[in-house]
Amino acid sequence: MNKLAIVLSILISSSSLVMAQDPELVQVAPIEIKASNLINLERALPEISDDKIYAGKKTTAVELKDTPQITTNNYRQIFSQIPGLLTSEVGNESHSSFSYRGIGDPHESFNLLVLGDGFPLNTDPYGYPAVYFTPPIESIGSIEFVRGGAALLYGPLPAGALNYQSTPASKEPWSFWSKQVTGSRNLYSTFNSISGTKDNVSYQGYFHHRHADGFRSDNSDYQINNGNIKVRIATSDMTTLRFSLDAYNSDHGEAGGVTKADPSALISEDGVVPALAQYDNDRFQSSRVNDRLRIERYVPTLRVNHRISSDASVQVSAWGGYLRRYSRRQSQGSTPAFGGIADGTTNDIAIQEFSTFGSDERLLQNWSGLGGEHTFTVGHLFTGIDSPLTQQKGSTAVSDAGEIQKKISRGTIANSLFAENLFRVSDDFSITPGVRLESIYQDIEEEKNLSADPAAPLRSDSNHVLVPLLGLGSAYRLTSSVELYGNASQAYRPITYADAIPLGVGDTISEDLDPTHVTTYETGIRGNPTNWINFDSSVFYITFEDQVGRVGTSIQNVGKSTHQGADFSTTFGIMSLIDDLRGSSSLSAELGELSFYNNLSLLHAEFTTGPALNNTPQYAPNYIYRTGLIYFNDDFKLQFLGSFIADHFGDDGNSQEREIPSYKVWDLLTEIPLSTTKCSLVAGINNIFDEEYYSRVRSTGIEAGNPRNYYAGVNIRF
């Protein structure tokens, strides 16, 4: 409580108040915010936006319009200006793999809530929070990242909330954009969109296809198809409706991992030397040539914004849909799981289906009293998910179907009540307390299990938990463009389906398994004191308690870790600085802007209790440093960016085979107009200096980062 009291006593300033608005042209009129001398801090979300209160929270907002276009959803480039977000590359682009400040395994972004236009992209945020879909970067206008208090806004998960915000529709009656790109390893990407606005209706639609062979010797190919339509209708100046429908399918090879193990140390008793995929011989060879992952996803969404009065608004969101995850994995056979070349004669097939319905209702009300003007928001979230799992045994290594081994029915019903109030104590000082209560019911039942003891009963588990979350943010304005901020907030990670009924033979689960709890304390300073500099620096302390893990064959709460460090982010407008020193704006106006950015995240994390005592949590590098130059004007854009990642581990046990050495990667991107303003060229060199590095380390072995590669293409706009 002492740490909490210290953080809560920090005085920090208010950002600008921007009432909930749709980013498109068609939008309801904003609520009148009753406050004076407000500021708008670039690179941070406003105090209030989209019926959510961000005051006192650490946030980052990155606009993509002033950078060259990124191709193939290269997350290292997409998040280059967000400090501390670790992207572990997945060579076949089958899913995203993000982590933040060492909070949990980044595989499939299990601990980070990922959103698209505020709607969850995690397959099941409660029982199976994997992220198998992210929208093509061509369709995204900005990226928003909320730390700390994100769970008060959205619920799980503990590492924060990342939101992809779509590009607004064209203001013209119609427009067309086609982007065609080719590149290394048979890369081909096409993005085609139409959009426009007519009277009170705006519309958008796109189709995206991308495929490539990947950089592994075999089975790292992928292909992706994604289509989306959006319609926004302003039924009056008080109400706006937004509808979207997204369809996606993908097919990915999974090439497995390689190893640096000495084969002579793994010779069996009968003298057999195992077949290993040796990193030093060929870091891009494949150890699993028959494994595939296939995803289908169909999701409609609906959002209604209604302005009740000049002081109140309501937002109602609803979404549903279906996702199917299909995987086939060749049995390992006689070789080691880590880097061994699979030689089994059968395979394991898993089919997971997710039928989802969710709704989110939020009310925002300005009110007067206690000597000031304040803002209150309250809401409710419902999530219902049905998720059957079927496991089959294929008779060959390439079978697409087989004999059913397990059938498990799974379901989640979650209800959340939440409220926050922004108290404006003075023109310069605000305090925002918040509370959230999560009610989670999960039901899991085995219908068939051929791998279990025939005499053992089929397993089932029904679990209901109430998780209260508290938070308090504060803000103090030092000047008209610089503020101090601080936040202390709780978050949690629900018990997943795999925790409730482990899939391994002989696995057991603790009877008193609890959700994982996270508490974040953070304070910092941010602002743009001149027109040529923007900065955000903060220090943080995080406790990560009741972590779920394995002790032998038992799944149980295994311990606690602490994570402490600092984030530093600065952006300099070099041309604007020169203009400021000269007392003129002519240079930036004539030549464009040259921007220099630096993001540094320092982290010290360690387990303080449990079987991994004194170890460093997985994927928790001591530093992540990103830097770069961005040049842009009306006609030309160029970005040169570097990422420097400290060595870290791919497991909590800090095993030598899972150590990931430090690395640095540089990329060069450009966008060049042709003689007509309707066409432009895009091109890039990824890993320009051909750095050799690990992208990540999984149970199947080391996965090498991509070598130097190229792409080029053309944009056509009408």
Residue-wise pLDDT for 491-508, tens only, equals 998 888 887 776 665 666
Return the CA Rg of the chain.
Answer: 26
Which domain covers residue 562, as residue numbers? Answer: 2-717
Residue-wise pLDDT for 104-128, tens only, equals 888 888 899 999 999 999 999 999 9
Q: What angle do CA 216, 110, 191 make, to 5 degrees?
A: 55
Return the CATH number at 392: 2.40.170.20
pLDDT value, residue 503: 64
pLDDT value, residue 4: 32
CB of 193 closer than 8 Å to CB of 177: yes
pLDDT at 34 > cutoff 60 = no
Share of the chain above pLDDT 90, in %: 69
Share of the chain above pLDDT 70, in %: 91
pLDDT value, residue 33: 36
Strands (E), 370-428: 372-386, 389-394, 403-424
Nearest residue to 440 (alpha-carbon basis) of 514, 371, 335, 523: 514
CB of 663 closer than 8 Å to CB of 694: yes
Residue-wise pLDDT for 189-209, tens only, equals 999 999 999 999 999 999 999
- How many Cβ atoms are within 10 Å of 37's Cβ, its own excluded? 10
Beta bridge partners of 322: 298, 355
pLDDT value, residue 559: 85
Residue-wise pLDDT for 521-534, tens only, equals 999 999 999 888 99
Q: Which residues contact 319 (CB under 8 A, 6 or more apart)?
A: 119, 120, 299, 300, 301, 302, 356, 357, 358, 359
Nearest residue to 538 (alpha-carbon basis) of 483, 489, 490, 492: 483
At 138, is the secondary structure helix, strand, or coil? Answer: helix
Give dist(CA 620, CA 105) in Å, integer: 10
Phi, psi of 590 (to 5 degrees): -85, -40
Q: Stretch 354-367: mean pLDDT, rounded?
A: 97
CB of 118 closer than 8 Å to CB of 110: no
* Cα dihedral across residues 450, 452, 454, 458: positive or negative: negative
Nearest residue to 524 (alpha-carbon basis) of 569, 561, 576, 575: 569
pLDDT value, residue 716: 92
Nearest residue to 671 (alpha-carbon basis) of 714, 627, 615, 609: 714
Share the mean pLDDT of the chain.
88
CB of 472 closer than 8 Å to CB of 485: no
pLDDT value, residue 506: 61
Q: Stretch 629-635: mean pLDDT, rounded?
A: 86
Q: Tell me how many domains the chain contains.
A: 1
pLDDT value, residue 36: 28
Nearest residue to 365 (alpha-carbon basis) of 429, 323, 315: 315
At 151, is the secondary structure helix, strand, or coil? Answer: helix
Residue-wise pLDDT for 597-620, tens only, equals 999 999 999 999 988 899 999 999
Q: Stretch 551-561: mean pLDDT, rounded?
A: 75
Q: Which residues contact 362 (CB under 8 A, 6 or more apart)?
A: 51, 52, 314, 315, 316, 377, 378, 379
CB of 418 closer than 8 Å to CB of 434: yes
